[in-house]
Chains A and B, each alone.
Chain A
Amino acid sequence: MNASGSIDEHTESEVLHTWTGKTRQWLVKRLPADKLLPEGQPSYVSSWIYVFGMGAIASLIYIIASGVVLSLNGPTWYHVSGLGHFVNSSHLWSVELFFIFMVVHLWGKYWMSAWRGGRVLTWITGVISFAVSIVAAFTGYLLQTNFDSQWIAFEAKDALNAVGIGAWFNVANLGQIFMWHIVLLPLAVGVIVALHVVLVRARGVVPPLEAASSDTQLTTPDEVSVGTLTEGSVR
């Protein structure tokens, strides 16, 4: 693909032949550095609803950090250590916050119909991260090595067996659930959230539902220039 116009200070207008070069050209075109890490946002990005995505990321950071500490000490450490119990509590509460933030975020994006204008993949990756997070939390509850996890395993096996997957996703097999919970599912959540956020950056934040080309914010663009504001602009 030949980049039309100057996409970047580096002369990327030439026709590149290597896969590597083409990939770079495509990436730089779709997501130039000032779009990935902009210093400004369109004027309509001013509402509390925008902080909930960030809140979910912040909670995810605490989930991972506390989870790493729990992993380092093994799944039964927190039964016998005061510090362990506190780390376990912070793991639990960051998960609760994560879900609160995510659900408010989801509803916010719904009422903003934020899938408009080619942003449908952002919505879909959001729904996938929601679903995968639920499975991840479920495996966490199975990993508590206490009465709760015994009971949840006993209860949950029936639904999984009924649909024929209980032998492969065996809720009573601690070793298997351990791997799902501390390796596979966190990796999946991490990758999907990263993709989700990169998609938001690449597409730019969705404009108001009733924005019209006659709006003053569109007819009289910046009087004040804010840094290098190039968010979303095709130069």
Chain B
Amino acid sequence: MSKIPASVSWRSKDDIASRAWTGKKREYDLFKELTVGVIVVGVLVVGLSAVFSSPDEPSVTLKSWATAAPADFVATATAELGGTSGTAGYGAPYNNTPDVGQKLGPINLQSLSGVQIPIDTAVDFVTGPLSLQANPPQALSTWTAAATDQRASWTSAYTDALTKAPNNDPTQVAVGDYGPVPALTSSLLAMAQQGALDGAIQGEGGFFNLDYTRSILFLGDGAYFVGLADGAHLTGDQWGMMNETGNYPGQSWLWLFSFWYQVPVVGGAANADILVVGIMLLLTVLLGLVPFIPGLRTIPRWIPIHRLVWKDYYKRR
């Protein structure tokens, strides 16, 4: 072994690591190695695909939601009408909601980004699609003519009544002053069950529309979609999106990203997302800068795994 500790510096200087190798050589056919590699990996890929296939759980639609969980659909539609859903109160980039968004110190990057994808949940998810029908419900004009306060008191009264109804069933709600709300939500339910709502909301973007923001946000406001994800071990507290449906490895390389959400001080913080994104950006930059960081770059000398890698060489020195 050498007396002076081997240098782990990235610098190019006059040492063996920096100079061109003038010692012994061996034949090494790069193209042959690549060819063998391509064949071996090809066998692995075909084998794994044949044996394990790949998951493909069909998409949820507003239709399948309204059919499978009508009570949840109606409760969500009421929240969209009353502006109390997750999307309605989300803030930027979908709408203006004061005092939401995660902060990094005094800076609220979310608000700073502005309302770039405007979404008015009452209009875009409920009244807009209803107005497209051949015979829009009478209730629609009552709703449109009403004052904001009046609308809010109808929707909140109906929301309360739904929670108290047996099984949250809209057909078993106690009598009350809900104005046009029950008529609107039941028309929307019927529209969704027929499959017309999916197209109506998607069509808000025009004839050609590859933007699914509205449909996905509407789905996510309900309990049905989240429940399906929960059942498929896909939610944030279950290591979230690094998993995929079924028994597949998923994006296991996101483990460190998901890991931080499981650490209570980080995952439980009000600005957890900012913290996690920040930590991961910092760690990625640090990984790139390892060769410059004393200590981090010296560990390979302290724990000499390289002696395994270059066993042959060290043996024959």
Question: Which of A59, A127, A209, A234 gathers the greatest number of chain B CB atoms within 10 Å?
Answer: A209
Bound: A231/B90 CA distance, A: 60
Query: In the complex, which residues of chain B have a beta carbon less than 8 angstroms from the beta carbon of A215?
Result: 23, 313, 317
B236 CB-CB contact with A under 8 Å: yes
A153 in contact with B212 (CB, 8 Å): yes
- Which of B47-55, B137-145, B168-176 is found at the contact surface with chain A? B47-55
A211 at the interface (CB under 8 A from B): yes
Q: Which residues of B contact A130 (CB under 8 A)?
A: 287
Contacting pair A226 B27 (CB below 8 A): yes
Residue on B nearest A128 in the bound complex, by CB:
B288
Question: Among residues 276 to 304 in chain B, which have CB atoms less than 8 Å away from a CB atom of chain A?
Answer: 276-277, 284, 287-288, 290-292, 297, 300-301, 303-304
If the complex has contacts A45-B26, A208-B314, are A170 and B213 also in contact, measured as CB distance less than 8 A? yes
Q: How many residues of A contact B (CB 8 A)?
A: 110
B35 to chain A, nearest CB (A): 9
Minimal Cβ-Cβ distance residue in B for A175: B210
Q: Which residue of A lies closest to B109 (CB)?
A: A164
Residue of A nearest to B220 (CB): A154
A94-B41, A111-B309, A123-B291 known; A89 vs B49 contact (CB < 8 Å):
yes
With A127-B284, A158-B273, A229-B25 as contacts: A58 and B291 at CB distance below 8 Å: no
B228 adjacent to chain A (CB < 8 Å)? yes
The answer to whether B284 touches A131, judged by C-beta atoms less than 8 angstroms apart, is yes
The answer for the CA separation of A231 and B244 in the assembled complex, in Å, is 46
Q: State which of B7-15, B69-77, B128-136 sits at the interface with chain A.
A: B7-15
Which residues on B sit within 8 Å (CB–CB) of A97? 41, 44-45, 48
Which of A3-11, A18-26, A36-44, A187-195 interfaces with chain B? A36-44
Alpha-carbon gap, A93 to B43, bound state (A)? 11
Q: Once the chains are docked, how many angstroms separate the CA of A152 from the CA of B271?
A: 20
Complex Cα–Cα for A96 and B30 (A): 24
B253 touches A217 (CB 8 A): no
Are B210 and A174 in contact, CB atoms less than 8 angstroms apart? yes
- B2 contact set on A, CB distance < 8 A: 210, 212
Q: How far is the CB of B92 from chain A (nearest CB, A)?
A: 7
Q: Which residues of A contact B301 (CB under 8 A)?
A: 113, 209
Measured between beta carbons, the chain B residues less than 8 angstroms from A40 are 25-28
Contact B21 A147 (CB under 8 A): no
Cβ < 8 Å to A, chain B residues 38-68: 38, 40-42, 44-46, 48-50, 52-60
- Which residues of chain A are within 8 angstroms of B212 by Cβ–Cβ distance? 150, 153, 172-174
- The reply on B247 being an interface residue by CB < 8 A is no
Chain A residues near B116 (CB-CB < 8 A): 167-168
Establish whether residues B313 and A211, one from each chain, have CB atoms under 8 Å apart when the complex forms: yes
Q: B60 and A118: CB pair below 8 A?
A: no
Interface bits A79-113 vs B (CB < 8 Å: 1, else 0): 10000011011101110110100010000101111
CB of B241 within 8 A of CB of A164, answer no
Is B92's CB under 8 angstroms from A161's CB?
Answer: yes
Once A58-B37, A147-B58, A162-B271 are accepted as A-B contacts, the answer to whether A44 and B310 lie under 8 Å apart by CB is yes
- In the bound assembly, the distance between CA atoms of A130 and B309 in angstroms comes to 23
Instruction: Give the complex CA separation of A47 and B13 in angstroms.
Output: 26
The verdict on A209 contacting B300 (CB below 8 Å), with A39-B28, A46-B26, A88-B56 known, is yes
Q: Which residue of B lies closest to A225 (CB)?
A: B25
Contact between chains at B22 and A207 (CB < 8 Å): no
**Contact of B53 with A147 in the complex, beta carbons under 8 Å:** no
Partner of B24, one of A85, A110, A217: A217
Contacts known (A115-B290, A117-B17, A141-B244); A47 close to B310, Cβ less than 8 A: yes
- Contact between B20 and A204, CB atoms less than 8 A apart: yes
Contact, CB under 8 Å: B56 / A141: no
Cα distance, A220 to B22, chains bound together (Å)? 10
In the assembled complex, A78 has its CB within 8 A of some CB on chain B: yes
Q: Across the two chains, which residue of chain A brings its CB closest to B112?
A: A164
Name which residue of chain A comes closest to B49, CB basis.
A89
Flag whether A57 is at the interface (Cβ < 8 A).
yes
Query: Cβ of B29 and Cβ of A111 under 8 Å apart?
Result: no
Q: What are 21 contact pairs spanning A and B, CB under 8 A? A: A54-B34, A62-B45, A89-B49, A93-B44, A96-B48, A97-B41, A113-B306, A123-B291, A127-B284, A134-B251, A137-B251, A141-B241, A158-B273, A173-B211, A209-B304, A209-B310, A217-B23, A220-B24, A221-B22, A227-B27, A232-B21
Sorted from nearest, which 10 A-B pairs have the closest CB atoms? A118-B12, A117-B17, A175-B210, A164-B109, A167-B116, A89-B49, A167-B93, A162-B273, A117-B18, A115-B291
Q: With A54-B34, A209-B301 given, can you name 15 additional A-B contacts, CB distance below 8 Å? A: A39-B27, A40-B28, A90-B45, A111-B306, A116-B7, A116-B10, A134-B254, A146-B59, A167-B92, A167-B116, A170-B117, A210-B306, A210-B314, A215-B313, A233-B22
What residues of chain B have their CB less than 8 Å away from a CB belonging to chain A? 1-2, 6-13, 15-31, 33-34, 37-38, 40-42, 44-46, 48-50, 52-60, 90, 92-93, 101-102, 109-110, 112-114, 116-117, 210-213, 216-217, 219-220, 225, 228-229, 232, 234-236, 240-241, 244-245, 248-249, 251-254, 271, 273-274, 276-277, 284, 287-288, 290-292, 297, 300-301, 303-307, 309-314, 316-317
